[in-house]
Amino acid sequence: MGARESESGLPIEPVYGPGQPAGFDPATALGEPGAFPYTRGVYPTMYTSRPWTMRQYAGFGTATESNRRYHQLIEAGSMGLSVAFDLPTQMGHDSDAQLAHAEVGKVGVAIDSIEDMRRLFDGIPLDKVSTSMTINAPAAVLLLLYQLVAEEQGVPGDKLTGTIQNDILKEYIARGTYIFPPKPSLRLVADTFRYCKDEIPKWNTISISGYHMAEAGATPVQEIAFTLANAEEYVRAAIDSGLAVDDFAPRLSFFFVARTTLLEEIAKFRAARRLWARIMRDEFGATNPKSMMLRFHTQTAGVQLTAQQPEVNLIRVAVQALGAVLGGTQSLHTNSYDEAIALPTEKAARLALRTQQVIAYESDLTATVDPFAGSYAIESMTDDIEAAAADLIRRVEDYGGAVAAIEHGFQKEEIERAAYRDALEIDSGERVVVGVNRYRTDEEEPYEPLRVDPAIEAAQAERLDRLRADRDNAEVTRRLDDLRKAATADTNVLHPLREALRASATVGETCNALREVWGQYVPPDAI
């Protein structure tokens, strides 16, 4: 790995450290990139050998429409797909369910059965792409549908790469797309860990998310503290299920936001890596270095996008993307400038991807590893964030862990307090939002958003009617009975779940079978 040259013909070293340049104090040495505690990045070469994975989050309307967008993104140079599901799918309801009315295809793609999954990935070689699926409560269901479609393509499970979010605990804290109570939900997560260890070994079985907590108003410190506290709960659940820590921890991944506060975001990512490395080594006894590496995907901050002067969001997203790259992300989704108004148009999605490509191929950020290492400001902020987050994790542990703290409403209350403070600062003008509370224009330029056809709901219902008429319903009934029996026993539910889906049981039918056994979560403040 040799040095690259700057535009002035001067060398850019792959890695800088104490003594480079002269004047650094060796006492503040941070270690090397790719070495414990991974403050400087999880890999020795980071982007000097290859850039981060450029994902673009997409999914809307029908599987056929989303498939068309995926092909466009691949042709534009996207290196990974990221699937957004509609709200009924996220909640485990079929498109013809009463609770799904008026929500089908609105915020993502509607997936009701293996037929929809076939259409979603038609013509896309699943052994060549890495796919991330933003799905939580029914994550196991969508992963199994993906595996079944891959098998139909002739792609075995050990060739599949990607991620399911599968992070149910943050749903109770900030987002709300839960189905089952916490205890059986954690069991389903652990069952997924065990299943993937044998069946889909290269798959990231969970993406533990701070992003949605940040979108709900969490500060950077709260974001990483509550995320890592949730991660500890998942690790305990997996160990309690009989897995050794180094059997599953290397496949854990994380999902964070990148805000416009560039310096704090860079420091946040560095602090999170250091905290996680020490938690895994010191608390859980991990010995595999990969178990201690906090690998994460980043998405730019949707909550900071504005419907006013939407083109300004292009600048916001570029700054946010820089924070993610300088912080050492492994993959990145850049939001489209029009997402505060509607689903992104094709042009807006392409510009979002081009933002990443400019950073990767026109800037010199890929020439050296961890360019901010040794910065007095960054190192001091990293230390401060680490200490504050560690203190907040201890407060969660004082309740008995993340689930007990959720049951007491601790995380939700802390985040709501932070969100309220932010709202007051924006309303007073203390916190500037360009185009909203300062630098407004009298007239907004006309904009034509992408709209989802409401006829999609009827079309999905018709497809479900045909599916139920054409399949072997006696076989579906047997397979759903097997699923219920597994849910009441101490056996892995993913195997009978896979066979039910193979028989063309729907997402709603499988989730309803589990609801019958495990019940449905009702938040304490709704009782």
Do 156 and 297 lie in a common domain? Answer: yes
Tokens of 395: 């407060």
Residue 489 vs residues 51, 244, 486, 500: alpha-carbon distances, Å? 45, 22, 5, 17
Task: Give domain status of residue 5, yes or no.
Answer: no
340 compared with 508, residue with greater pLDDT: 508
Q: Write down the pLDDT at residue 23.
A: 45
Task: Give domain status of residue 442, yes or no.
Answer: no
Backbone angles phi, psi at 456, to 5 degrees: -60, -40
Do 395 and 482 lie in a common domain? Answer: no
Name the average pLDDT for the chain: 92
CATH number at residue 55: 3.20.20.240
Do 223 and 268 lie in a common domain? Answer: yes
Q: What would the mean pLDDT of 191-215 be, rounded to a whole number? A: 95
Do 384 and 518 lie in a common domain? Answer: no
Ranges assigned E (strand) in 259-305? 296-300
Q: How many domains does the chain contain in total?
A: 2
Q: How confident is the model at residue 58 (pLDDT cuts 50, 70, 90)?
A: low
3-state secondary structure 339-391: CCCCECCHHHHHHHHHHHHHHHHCCCCCCCECCCCCCHHHHHHHHHHHHHHHH
Neighbours of 438 (CB within 10 A): 9
Q: Write down the pLDDT at residue 28.
A: 46
Do 424 and 471 lie in a common domain? Answer: no
Task: Give domain status of residue 446, yes or no.
Answer: no
Q: What would the mean pLDDT of 167-183 be, rounded to a whole number? A: 94
Task: Give domain status of residue 503, yes or no.
Answer: yes
Q: Is the pLDDT of residue 527 over 70?
A: no
Task: Give domain status of residue 388, yes or no.
Answer: yes
Q: Write down the pLDDT at residue 19.
A: 53
Q: Write down the pLDDT at residue 26.
A: 38
Q: Is the pLDDT of residue 472 over 70?
A: yes
Q: Is the pLDDT of residue 4 over 90?
A: no
Structural domain ending residue among the three candidates 393, 428, 463: 428
Do 240 and 360 lie in a common domain? Answer: yes
Contact between 312 and 331 (Cβ < 8 Å):
no
Tokens of 494: 């993913």
Task: Give domain status of residue 269, yes or no.
Answer: yes
Do 181 and 280 lie in a common domain? Answer: yes
pLDDT tens digits, 109-162: 999 999 999 999 999 999 999 998 999 999 999 999 999 999 999 999 999 999
Do 167 and 274 lie in a common domain? Answer: yes
Q: What is the pTM of this model?
A: 0.89
Task: Give domain status of residue 438, yes or no.
Answer: no
Do 307 and 396 lie in a common domain? Answer: yes
Neighbours of 49 (CB within 10 A): 12
> Could you tell me the residue range of the domain that residue 471 belongs to?
455-526
Contact between 345 and 453 (Cβ < 8 Å):
no
pLDDT tens digits, 349-403: 899 999 999 999 999 999 999 999 999 999 999 999 999 999 999 999 999 999 9
Q: Is the pLDDT of residue 201 over 90?
A: yes
List strands edge to edge, sheet with 80-84.
Answer: 203-204, 161-164, 130-134, 80-84, 53-58, 331-333, 296-300, 252-258, 206-209
Do 362 and 490 lie in a common domain? Answer: no
Per residue in 353-374, is it b (16+ CB within 10 Å) or e — as a string? bebbeebbeeeeebbbbbbbbb
Q: Write down the pLDDT at residue 279.
A: 98
Do 387 and 467 lie in a common domain? Answer: no
Task: Give domain status of residue 443, yes or no.
Answer: no
Q: Is the pLDDT of residue 445 over 80?
A: no
DSSP labels, 171-196: IIIII----S-HHHHHHHHHHHHHHH
Q: What would the mean pLDDT of 485-499 be, rounded to a whole number? A: 97
pLDDT tens digits, 288-326: 999 999 999 999 999 999 999 999 999 999 999 999 999
Tell me if residue 456 falls in helix, strand or coil: helix
Do 481 and 367 lie in a common domain? Answer: no
| Residues above pLDDT 70, as percent of the chain | 94
